[in-house]
């Protein structure tokens, strides 16, 4: 995949012999491996971020290495992954409509109006729904997604993801973005038929089997710093399956915005530099289309200002 970065961003790259942290601008990459991994850079983010504009300027004159000659890996290996669920208005409305009981005589418009009222009430008085992810599920933005034999209903969920740049515990909403280094993209691949198995349904969802399998979290391509990206609410989030648009929305339609999510998550646990906080996915995943991933399918998840992933689905070897 050909990539170009306006401004600058952080990433992890491979030249075939080693992996290294790098600063990417345009189509050039400046290796930063003497400073350690991307997570190491995030541990000292206030000092690092001040140097990035000057370093990025050196790439404008042809410095560094050609991006096209390098493999792009997942940009960071986090300690923790916190995921917010059912957090786009379009997605919640879709869930309400698809969960209609057979004897429910209300029209779609009536259901949507009730869903809107419910969401307004929740945004005013409720809190985000969280679950935890495992770093072992992460793969790179160009890696294959492995489809497990025991699932026939694997689908997709593109998500704007905040990358923590400063340790956060009980952070108030108005200071939440001070603890975010930047944003990346994640695709929350999910095996729906393994998520709520009848034998475990009284205990809730089976998040390990359904969402944390190897390669079930394509991440990247890059981490775009907050100061480069602009207002995250205006970013265009899309997912195409085999070239057909399946998801499209903007974070302005989040039920709980990034500030509220960071505040709520940091009230429950401590967030550390490099941690990923997924903010939820728009409507349009596999359940809506009744279309599940098959070997050979190509997923293209993209967020403006951050970049695109291109992952091919393959059957997991037994």
Task: Please state, in angstroms and rounded to a whole number, the distance separating the CA atoms of residues 199 and 289.
Answer: 27
* For residue 189, pLDDT beyond 90: yes
Task: Please state, in angstroms and rounded to a whole number, the distance separating the CA atoms of residues 80 and 117.
Answer: 33
The tens digit of pLDDT for each residue in 205-257 reads 899 999 999 999 999 999 999 999 999 999 999 999 999 999 999 999 999 99
- Helix axes 108-125 and 89-98, enclosed angle (nearest 10): 130
pLDDT for position 126: 84
pLDDT band at 171 (very low <50, low <70, confident <90, very high): very high
The tens digit of pLDDT for each residue in 298-308 reads 999 999 999 99
pLDDT for position 198: 86
Task: Please state, in angstroms and rounded to a whole number, the distance separating the CA atoms of residues 148 and 287.
Answer: 18
CATH topology for the 81-315 domain: Fumarylacetoacetate hydrolase; domain 2 (3.90.850)
Across the range 141-160, mean pLDDT stands at 97
Mean pLDDT of the chain: 93
Q: Residues with Cβ < 8 Å from 95, sequence gap 6 or more? A: 86
Q: Residues with Cβ < 8 Å from 301, sequence gap 6 or more? A: 156, 158, 185, 187, 218, 238, 239, 308, 309, 311
Write down the pTM of the prediction: 0.93
pLDDT for position 85: 87
Percent of the chain with pLDDT over 90: 80
Q: Residue 50 class from Cβ within 10 Å (0-12 exposed, 13-18 middle, 19+ buried)?
A: exposed
Task: Please state, in angstroms and rounded to a whole number, the distance separating the CA atoms of residues 285 and 195.
Answer: 15
Domain boundaries along the sequence of the chain: 5-73, 81-315
Closest among 125, 149, 229 to 185, alpha carbons compared: 229
Closest among 258, 270, 272 to 166, alpha carbons compared: 272
The 10 Å Cβ neighbour count of residue 310 is 16
Q: How far is CA 265 from the centre of its chain?
A: 16
């Amino acid at each position: 995949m050909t990539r170009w970065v306006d401004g600058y961003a952080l990433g992890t790259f491979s030249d075939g012999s080693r992996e290294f942290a790098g600063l990417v601008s345009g189509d050039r990459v400046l290796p930063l491996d003497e400073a350690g991994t991307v997570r190491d850079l995030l541990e000292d983010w206030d000092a690092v971020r001040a140097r990035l504009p000057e370093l990025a300027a050196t790439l404008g004159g042809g410095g560094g290495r050609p991006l096209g000659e390098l493999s792009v890996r997942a940009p960071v290996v986090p300690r923790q992954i916190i995921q917010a669920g059912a957090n786009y208005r379009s997605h919640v409305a879709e869930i309400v409509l698809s969960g209609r009981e057979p004897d429910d005589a209300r029209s779609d418009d009536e259901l949507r109006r009730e869903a809107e009222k419910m969401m307004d009430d929740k945004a005013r008085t409720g809190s985000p729904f969280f679950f935890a992810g495992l770093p072992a599920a992460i793969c790179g933005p160009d890696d294959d997604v492995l489809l497990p034999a025991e699932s026939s209903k694997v689908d997709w969920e593109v998500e704007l993801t905040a990358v923590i740049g400063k340790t956060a515990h009980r952070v108030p909403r108005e200071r939440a973005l001070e603890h975010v280094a930047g944003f990346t993209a994640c695709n929350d691949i999910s095996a729906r038929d393994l998520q709520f198995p009848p034998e475990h349904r009284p205990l809730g969802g089976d998040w390990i089997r359904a969402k944390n399998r190897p390669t079930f979290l394509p991440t990247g391509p890059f981490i775009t710093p907050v100061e480069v990206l602009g207002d995250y609410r205006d970013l265009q989030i899309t997912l195409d399956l085999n070239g057909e648009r399946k998801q499209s929305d903007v974070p302005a339609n989040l039920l709980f915005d990034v500030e509220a999510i960071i505040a709520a998550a940091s009230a429950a646990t401590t967030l550390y530099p490099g941690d990923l906080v997924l903010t939820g996915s728009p409507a349009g995943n596999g359940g809506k289309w009744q279309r599940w991933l098959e070997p050979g399918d190509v997923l293209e998840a993209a967020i403006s200002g951050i970049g695109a992933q291109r992952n091919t689905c393959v059957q997991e070897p037994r």
